[in-house]
Amino acid sequence: MKKNILVIVVILLSTTTLMGQTESQHFVYEYSNSGFVRIKPKNEINRILEKGGVLLELTSEIRTFWGEYSRVKPLQELVDDEVLSKKRILELKKEDKTMIRVYFDETGIVSYVSFWIIPGMKSLLTDQELYDIAQRYKGIKYDMTGVKIVESEKSTKTSFYSSDAFELPYEDLKISIP
């Protein structure tokens, strides 16, 4: 009888670990039914969601600016400041497909950052590297000039949140190894 109970407990714990969530020093890893793994900051609540989300329409100029400034610049600064080495970026560039999702409000300022790993892939980034990246993206300002609200949940034109999701832009970084 004790043996059967022990087997059941082990199976339940294994299932919870495989299908549930795990934690690291800075993040909680949540596994979805679709196979995605969401990596969200530990002990942080995305309070910006209370404002209600919007779908934004961007002009091509804004999209280009967002790509160069809001997406690439924070990661480039980590390389320039030698927080991430050029050698490490070249390693990541080959195989890492970690997605980043930044949340910003009507001012364009990023206040929450999470990561996603697509099914069948894994992040090659360490917990500390993910943390450094998240911290660098927080506070970045997306240019909201000329951006139009296309669809809205419950928000207004003066109080809303939106997000930008993209693969970490290793390809766009300016690095050269001597």
pLDDT digits (tens, 9 = 90+) for 97-121: 999 999 999 999 999 999 999 888 8
Residue 57: pLDDT band (50, 70, 90) is confident
pLDDT given at position 112: 97
The HSE-up count of residue 73 (CA atoms within 13 Å, CB side) is 13
Output the CA–CA distances (angstroms, integers) from residue 46 to 49, 51, 67, 110, 149, in the order listed.
6, 11, 23, 11, 21
Is the pLDDT at 74 greater than 50, yes or no? yes
**pLDDT, the chain, mean:** 85
Share of the chain above pLDDT 90, in %: 53
pLDDT at 107: 93
Q: Please report, rounded to a whole number, the percentage of residues in the chain having pLDDT higher than 70.
A: 86
Residue 78: count other Cβ atoms within 10 Å of its Cβ: 20
d(CA 136, CA 102): 11
Most confident option among 21-35, 52-66, 78-92, 146-160: 78-92
Examine the pLDDT at 11 and tell me if it is beyond 70.
no
Residue 7 scores a pLDDT above 50: no
What pLDDT sits at residue 154? 78
Structural contact between residues 93 and 167, judged by C-beta atoms closer than 8 angstroms = no
